[in-house]
């Protein structure tokens, strides 16, 4: 897709009234293949995955898909690391200025790749849920005879692996997109597979399908807003390049209606993807209804991609007009933190509670994103890294607490879990403390650096609200911990399923990263603060 | 709004899209097509033989077969029809990129040709998936 | 025939679509309203392409069309699956997930 975008970008200078196809050759924009190699590998592997689905026999597919996807991610990561050494200090802008590969991009890409490996391993676990988390045949109607027959079959829809790779490719392009059209295409490439993956749960298929419908309708609605914003900005600047928009806004006295109308609509679409309140309404429903490994993938990776995009749009495209719109985003950040913290208190379902926590976290992230200085950028990137690992592990653990009907996500079922399974309860407690931002966890350091950056930019009132909101949010995390440790377990309470070795490994790594970043954050902080966005 | 209007005001160029004269051949074509349709409908019953049977009274290539039971939900239209329609839309719209390519094929050179074949190949992967998974079987 | 009229028309179509998404109850109709919004954007894009005298807006409309088609396919598949189960495409009936 992105290569095609290059071709049409190259075709731009042809004036409209002139007859098409002048004999003159169109010069090909230079392409830095080493810079975009990780994206090409991921999307190429996704295409191969589709061919696997077409030609491999059913019983071979899951192993082949898992090996292919993990291998592709590892190779992409290797190319990424080797490119990181040779990249010029200011980054590379390539493919006719469609993609900007710079230090923040590399940080986001590396995080996305690592987290996706974890999510893929969770998805491939077939010991926790017999046959896997995903339905054997999604086309069979829930509740019918055929559906009961397929529930016993130990198969699953292995299309989730290529779909996850496509989503990952979309997220990587989204983080690096330097013009709004590329960003829109990437937005759709990352969203469409996620809509489908949400509807593929093996258990509670009605809930899962309902989550998919809601996510799809609201997501398409939001992307229409993004697109109308894009069109207005194109009318304003005559281009959808972020830097052209910034220059147009700085240099002329053109219609501000188009500029701010366009920016507003564009930001609505972006905030929706980042599940920032008040555009969060899909989040709890989708997080609850989707298969838990998909929720883990969405919760961790979509947030990272969305905020990567928000950071770039705000600082590269609209940095010159920040004094006009920053007040509005102050309000949005406050709304998001308050909505997340207050509504999180009233939840009775663990997955919904973590969803509201993610809305509150989106508010904290937005504070970092509107600082618009290198300190804010590096703080937000660090926060994204910490949040990604913690969320992945949290949903991984939630998927293990089960009873005969599948996952036991109601809070009352978690009562006294520590007596049944001290290890899982302890892990969950630690992860919840990290989400609350208690010292010695990565969540504390993440909040600390974001608040510090905000204070240095004169946003003290916002920081006060944020601290209050995190105090309120800490209450509902602690409520779960108290429930797990100081309540009597119910008679027919859930049991903790022992996952396979790979899943255990993923959870262990995520918990260790959460701990490590809380104790010795400087390594990753150096990494996230090593560069700024490429401007051109 | 005022500022918007000032940058937007621009008269249509003579002979350009804003000029209605250039639509004359198109209008003539419509008139011709309409005349032919009327002619066929009016003249065919007058000169042709009349032999009716069941097949002739059927809807001719009008897509959806009427369902036996118009129950809400169950079987309004055959599900296979949706599948075919969706596949058609997908592959049909993908081809929109071939038009700009075809128009500028000379100017784009070898690189453009390689790219468009890569694009067709990716669409081909999707086609292979649909074909192998029975998406094209009408049953 | 100033291009402003086209912009007003497309803004109107976009608004009709957005209001339709909010007030209509049938998932298919909601989805059609979203498509209307996308096509309103296409009209805006080609109008601005004419005003700015550059082809890029028209090319963007191509991309939007293709994305809309992909969205239709994914969306109809999802809506169909839930419709076959519930025998209703009303968005009000999708009410298992709440609070």
Cβ within 8 Å, pair A8-B106 = no
Give the number of domains in chain A.
1
Q: What is the distance between the alpha carbons of residues A198 and A175, in angstroms, rounded to a whole number?
A: 22
Mean pLDDT of chain B: 76
Residue B65 has pLDDT above 60, yes or no: no
- CB-neighbour burial class of residue A222 (10 A; exposed 0-12, middle 13-18, buried 19+): buried
Q: What is the distance between the alpha carbons of residues A145 and A148, in angstroms, rounded to a whole number?
A: 5
Q: What residue of A is the nearest CA neighbor of B111?
A: A28
Which tops the pLDDT comparison, A344 or B61? Answer: A344
Specify if B76 maps to a domain. Answer: yes
Cβ within 8 Å, pair B100-A255 = no
Predicted confidence (pLDDT) per residue in B34-61, tens digit = 999 999 999 988 888 877 777 666 666 6
Residue C98 distance to chain A (closest CA, Å): 7
Cis peptide before A278 (omega within 30 of 0): yes
Q: Which of C62, C71, C90 to mutate to test the interface with B (most CBs of B within 10 A)?
A: C62
Q: What local confidence, expressed as pLDDT, does residue B11 receive?
A: 52
Specify if A236 maps to a domain. Answer: yes
Specify if A381 maps to a domain. Answer: yes
Cβ within 8 Å, pair C21-A211 = no
* Cβ of residue C87 closer than 8 Å to a chain A Cβ: no
Specify if A166 maps to a domain. Answer: yes
Is residue A94 within a helix (H) or strand (E), and if so which, with residue range?
strand A92-94
Domain boundaries, chain C: 25-86
B 80-119 → A contacts, CB under 8 A: 97, 100-101, 103-104, 106-109, 111-112, 115, 118-119
Specify if A396 maps to a domain. Answer: yes
Q: What residue of B is the nearest CA neighbor of A258?
A: B4
Residue A182 CA neighbour count, 13 Å, CB half: 31
Is residue A338 within a helix (H) or strand (E), and if so which, with residue range?
helix A322-345
Specify if A68 maps to a domain. Answer: yes
The first and second tokens of residue C63, run together, are 């991309």
The pLDDT-based confidence of B64 (bands split at 50, 70, 90) is low
Q: What local confidence, expressed as pLDDT, does residue A479 receive?
A: 92
Q: What is the distance between the alpha carbons of residues A433 and A442, in angstroms, rounded to a whole number?
A: 10
Cβ within 8 Å, pair B111-A54 = no
Instruction: For residue B121, give the 3-state DSSP assignment.
Output: helix
**Cα A41 from chain centroid (whole Å):** 20
Supply the ipTM of this predicted assembly: 0.95
Q: What is the distance between the alpha carbons of residues A382 and A394, in angstroms, rounded to a whole number?
A: 18
* Cβ of residue A17 closer than 8 Å to a chain B Cβ: yes
Instruction: For residue A496, give the 3-state DSSP assignment.
Output: strand
For residue A348, give its domain range.
31-140+151-528
Q: What local confidence, expressed as pLDDT, does residue B87 receive?
A: 85
Residues A427, A480 contacting (CB under 8 angstroms): no
Residues A406, A412 contacting (CB under 8 angstroms): no
The pLDDT-based confidence of B82 (bands split at 50, 70, 90) is confident
Give the number of domains in chain B.
1
Which tops the pLDDT comparison, C97 or A376? Answer: A376
Q: What local confidence, expressed as pLDDT, does residue A251 receive?
A: 77
Which tops the pLDDT comparison, A24 or A466? Answer: A466
The pLDDT-based confidence of A3 (bands split at 50, 70, 90) is very low
Residues C57, C49 contacting (CB under 8 angstroms): yes
Q: What local confidence, expressed as pLDDT, does residue A33 receive?
A: 93
Residue A347 has pLDDT above 60, yes or no: yes
B 39-98 → C contacts, CB under 8 A: 72-74, 79, 82, 86-87, 89-90, 92-94, 96-97
List the one residue out of A190, A436, A205 whose CA is nearest residue A309: A190
* Cβ of residue C66 closer than 8 Å to a chain B Cβ: yes
Q: What local confidence, expressed as pLDDT, does residue A494 receive?
A: 83
The predicted model scores a pTM of 0.88
Which residues in chain B touch residue C86, judged by CB atoms under 8 angstroms apart?
73
Which residues in chain B touch residue C77, judged by CB atoms under 8 angstroms apart?
86
Neighbours of chain B (3+ CB pairs under 8 A): A, C
Listed range (A63-72, B104-113, C57-66) with the worst mean pLDDT:
B104-113
Mean pLDDT of chain A: 90
The pLDDT-based confidence of B18 (bands split at 50, 70, 90) is low
The pLDDT-based confidence of C55 (bands split at 50, 70, 90) is confident
A 370-389 → C contacts, CB under 8 A: none
The pLDDT-based confidence of A273 (bands split at 50, 70, 90) is very high
For residue B76, give its domain range.
71-139
The predicted model gives A387-410 an average pLDDT of 91
Residue B76 has pLDDT above 60, yes or no: no
Cβ within 8 Å, pair A289-C84 = no
Percentage helix, strand, coil for chain B under 3-state DSSP, each rounded to 5? 65, 0, 35
Cβ within 8 Å, pair A20-B4 = no
- Residue A495 is classified by DSSP as E
- CB-neighbour burial class of residue A299 (10 A; exposed 0-12, middle 13-18, buried 19+): buried
Residues A218, C21 contacting (CB under 8 angstroms): no
Cβ within 8 Å, pair C81-A138 = yes
Which residues in chain B touch residue A257, judged by CB atoms under 8 angstroms apart?
1, 3-4
The predicted model gives C73-80 an average pLDDT of 90
List the one residue out of A304, A367, A309, A377 whose CA is nearest residue A529: A377
The pLDDT-based confidence of B68 (bands split at 50, 70, 90) is low
Which residues in chain C touch residue B90, judged by CB atoms under 8 angstroms apart?
69-70, 73
Which residues in chain A touch residue B111, judged by CB atoms under 8 angstroms apart?
28
Predicted confidence (pLDDT) per residue in A11-37, tens digit = 444 444 544 444 567 788 889 999 999
Instruction: For residue A100, give the 3-state DSSP assignment.
Output: strand
Predicted confidence (pLDDT) per residue in A315-328, tens digit = 999 988 888 899 99
SS3 for chain B is CHHHHHHHCCCCCCCCCCCHHHHHHHHHHHHHHHHHHHHHHHHHHHHCCCCCCHHHHCCCCCCCCCCCCCCCCCCCCCHHHHHHHHHHHHHHHHHHHHHHHHHCHHHHHHHHHHHHHHHHHHHHHHHHHHHHCCCCCCC
């Amino acid at each position: 897709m992105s290569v095609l975008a290059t071709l049409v970008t190259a075709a731009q200078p042809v004036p409209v009234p002139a007859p098409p196809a002048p004999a003159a050759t169109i010069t090909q924009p230079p392409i830095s293949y080493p810079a975009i190699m990780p994206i090409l590998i991921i999307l190429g592997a996704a295409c191969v995955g589709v061919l696997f689905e077409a030609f491999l026999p059913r019983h071979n597919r899951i192993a082949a898909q898992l090996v292919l996807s993990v291998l592709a991610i590892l190779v992409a990561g290797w190319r990424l690391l080797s490119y990181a050494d040779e990249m010029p200090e200011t980054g590379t802008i390539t493919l006719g200025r469609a993609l900007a590969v710079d230090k923040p991009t590399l940080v986001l890409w590396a995080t996305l790749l690592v987290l996706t490996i974890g999510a893929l391993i969770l998805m491939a676990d077939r010991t926790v849920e017999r046959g896997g988390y995903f339905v054997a045949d999604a086309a069979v109607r829930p509740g019918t005879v055929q559906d009961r027959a397929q529930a016993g079959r130990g198969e699953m829809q292995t299309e989730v692996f290529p779909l996850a790779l496509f989503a990952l490719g979309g997220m990587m392009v989204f983080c690096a997109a330097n013009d709004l059209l590329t960003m829109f295409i990437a937005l759709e490439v990352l969203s469409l597979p996620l809509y489908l993956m949400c509807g593929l749960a093996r258990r509670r298929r009605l809930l899962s399908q309902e989550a998919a419908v809601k996510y799809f309708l609201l997501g398409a609605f939001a992307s229409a807003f993004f697109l109308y914003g894009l069109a207005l900005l194109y009318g304003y600047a005559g281009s959808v390049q972020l830097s052209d928009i910034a220059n147009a806004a700085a240099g002329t006295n053109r219609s501000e209606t188009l500029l701010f109308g366009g920016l507003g609509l564009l930001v609505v679409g972006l905030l929706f993807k980042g599940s920032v309140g008040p555009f969060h309404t899909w989040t709890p429903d989708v997080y609850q209804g989707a298969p838990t490994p998909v929720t883990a993938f969405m919760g961790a990776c979509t947030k990272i991609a969305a905020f990567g995009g928000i950071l770039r749009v705000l600082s590269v495209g609209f940095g010159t007009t920040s004094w006009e719109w920053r007040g509005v985003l102050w309000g949005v950040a406050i709304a998001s933190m308050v909505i997340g913290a207050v509504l999180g208190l009233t939840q009775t379902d663990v997955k919904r509670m973590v969803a509201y926590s993610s809305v509150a976290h989106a508010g904290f992230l937005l504070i970092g994103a509107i600082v618009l200085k290198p300190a804010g950028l590096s703080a937000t990137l660090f926060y994204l890294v910490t949040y990604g690992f913690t969320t992945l592990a949290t949903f991984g653990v939630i998927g293990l607490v089960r009873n005969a009907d599948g996952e036991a996500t109601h809070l009352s079922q978690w009562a006294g879990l520590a007596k049944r399974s001290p290890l899982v309860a302890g892990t969950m407690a630690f992860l919840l403390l990290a989400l609350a931002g208690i010292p010695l966890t990565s969540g504390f350091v993440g909040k600390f650096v974001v608040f510090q950056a905000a204070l240095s930019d004169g946003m003290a009132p916002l920081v006060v609200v944020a601290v209050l909101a995190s105090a309120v949010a800490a209450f509902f995390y602690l409520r779960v911990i108290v429930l797990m440790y100081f309540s009597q377990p119910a008679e027919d309470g859930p049991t903790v399923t022992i996952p396979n070795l790979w899943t255990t490994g993923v959870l262990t790594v995520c918990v260790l990263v959460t701990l490590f970043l809380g104790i010795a954050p400087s390594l990753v902080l150096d990494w996230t603060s090593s560069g700024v966005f490429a401007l051109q | 709004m005022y500022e918007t209007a000032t940058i937007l005001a621009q008269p249509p160029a003579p002979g350009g899209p804003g000029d209605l004269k250039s639509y004359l051949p198109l209008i003539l074509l419509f008139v011709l097509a309409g005349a032919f349709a009327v002619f066929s409908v009016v003249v065919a019953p007058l000169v042709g033989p009349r032999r009716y049977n069941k097949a002739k009274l059927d809807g001719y290539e009008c897509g959806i077969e009427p369902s036996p039971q118009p129950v809400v939900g169950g079987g309004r239209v055959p599900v296979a029809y949706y599948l075919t329609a969706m596949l058609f839309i997908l592959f049909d719209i993908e081809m929109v990129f071939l038009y700009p390519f075809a128009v500028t094929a000379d100017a784009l050179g070898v690189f453009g040709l390689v790219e468009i074949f890569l694009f067709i190949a990716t669409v081909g992967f999707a086609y292979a998936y649909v074909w192998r998974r029975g998406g094209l079987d009408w049953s | 025939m100033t291009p402003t009229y086209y912009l007003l028309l497309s803004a109107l179509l976009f608004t009709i679509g957005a209001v339709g998404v909010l007030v209509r109850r049938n998932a298919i109709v909601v989805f059609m309203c979203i498509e209307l919004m996308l096509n309103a954007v296409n009209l805006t894009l080609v109008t601005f392409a004419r005003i700015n005298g550059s082809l890029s807006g028209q090319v963007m409309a191509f991309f939007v069309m293709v994305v809309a088609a992909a969205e239709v396919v994914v969306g109809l598949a999802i809506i169909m699956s839930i419709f076959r189960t519930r025998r209703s495409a009303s968005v009000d009936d999708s009410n298992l997930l709440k609070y």
